[in-house]
Amino acid sequence: MQIFIPLLAGIVAGYLLRRLGKRPNLSPVTNAVLLIMIFLLGVKTGEVKVEGLWLLSVSLVFAILTIAGSLLMVVRA
Amino acid sequence: MRFLYLVLAALVSGVVVGRYLGPDFGNAYELVLYLLIFLIGLDLGMNFKMADLKKVGKSALLMPFLTIIGSLLGALVASLVLGVPLKWGLAIGAGCGWYSLTGPLIAQYSVVYGAVGFLANLIREILTILLYPVLAGKIGPRKAVVIGGATTMDTTLPIIARFGGREVALVAFVHGFVLTAVVPFLVPLILSLFDY
């Protein structure tokens, strides 16, 4: 739920900037921060101690099939 | 496409650094995530119009439930194929990508399946980052949101916003928000239902 704090702060700040007639280009900074976040996610993933091929392969099958199931449902809906 | 390569490079280099150097970044991940969410909020605040909210409509509220049912069906198939007891398999699927919750919840009962619950949902999040740009082009940016599960309100929201646009980011946030409210109840419910 902590996620709401920066989100709401951003929305309010963005609204105030709009009222002031200022619209800075956020794309470069957003892209840069996104890449840093993905790098840090990769670091977290690399730190996970996978005990054997079984754990990795079972997890991979679950991940793929749960994604496929969700996709199937939304495509058929 | 060039940005997608940068995403892949960031992810792979992160995995290599995490695996072989194991640096302690403290809570840098959370801080960067909050910064990103702030920037997304800033963008929404600068450009959001009420008409956009109306466009989100009923489908955005229906999608999370399709995501859950699909995840559970996928987990059911995975359980049957791999010979994993349904109790663990369905609980793993019910996590909908929320690895930091699903893993510890299942690990209360089984360390091994707790690890699978963690890793399977972490892989789902990573696959969302890698596949969303591709799937958004093939089945549409709104429908492709479901692959992210509960993560679409935070960790995968930036990639969805980047490749799907502002309107889809709003759909993704609502989708992730509903799942974030449901998953903490669903995983323990499944674990207790199959408590034999």
Q: How many CB pairs under 8 A join A and B?
A: 256
Mean pLDDT, rounded, for B107-114: 83
A32 in B contact zone (CB under 8 Å): no
What is the count of structural domains for chain B?
Answer: 1
For A33, other C-beta atoms within 10 Å of its C-beta total 18
Contact indicator for B30, A41 with CB cutoff of 8 Å: no
The residue among B122, B174, B166, B175 whose CA lies nearest residue B146 is B175
Residues of B in contact with A15 (CB under 8 A): 45-46, 48
Residues of A in contact with B115 (CB under 8 A): 51, 55
The residue among B6, B97, B82 whose CA lies nearest residue A37 is B6
- Residue B80: pLDDT above 80? yes
A33 in B contact zone (CB under 8 Å): yes
The residue among B81, B76, B126, B120 whose CA lies nearest residue B102 is B120
User: Which stretches within chain B are classed as H helix?
Assistant: 2-20, 28-47, 50-82, 86-94, 99-107, 111-139, 157-164, 166-193
Contact indicator for B155, B128 with CB cutoff of 8 Å: no
Contact A61 B34 (CB under 8 A): no
Q: Which residue of A has its CA nearest to B68?
A: A70
Residue A16: per-residue pLDDT:
93
Mean pLDDT, rounded, for B75-85: 96
Contact indicator for B142, B59 with CB cutoff of 8 Å: yes
Tens digits of residue pLDDT in B21-58: 888 888 888 788 889 879 888 987 887 666 666 666 77
Q: What residues contact B114, with CB distance under 8 A and at least 6 apart?
A: B103, B104, B105, B106, B107, B108
Q: What is the DSSP letter of B125?
A: H
Q: What residues contact B133, with CB distance under 8 A and at least 6 apart?
A: B4, B159, B163
- Residue B196: pLDDT above 70? no
Mean pLDDT of chain B: 87
The residue among A39, A62, A55 whose CA lies nearest residue B149 is A62
Give A1 to chain B, closest Cα distance, Å: 9
Residue B33: per-residue pLDDT:
80
Regarding predicted confidence, which is higher, B184 or A53? B184
Regarding predicted confidence, which is higher, B190 or A7? B190
Query: What dihedral angle (degrees, nearest 10) is formed by the CA atoms of A35, A37, A39, A42?
Result: -140
Task: Give A1-68 as a DSSP string.
Answer: -TTHHHHHHHHHHHHHHHHTT-----HHHHHHHHHHHHHHHHHHHHHS---HHHHHHHHHHHHHHHHH
The domain of B144 spans 2-193
Contact B42 A67 (CB under 8 A): no
Residue A37: per-residue pLDDT:
82
What is the count of structural domains for chain A?
Answer: 1
Contact indicator for B166, B43 with CB cutoff of 8 Å: yes
Tens digits of residue pLDDT in B131-180: 999 999 999 999 999 999 999 988 899 999 999 988 899 899 889 988 98
What span, in angstroms and rounded, lies between the C-alpha atoms of B108 and B123?
A: 21
Mean pLDDT, rounded, for A24-51: 82
Contact indicator for B41, A13 with CB cutoff of 8 Å: yes
Contact indicator for B91, B187 with CB cutoff of 8 Å: yes
Task: pLDDT band for B129, please (50, 70, 90 cuts).
Answer: very high
The domain of A43 spans 4-76
Mean pLDDT, rounded, for A32-39: 87
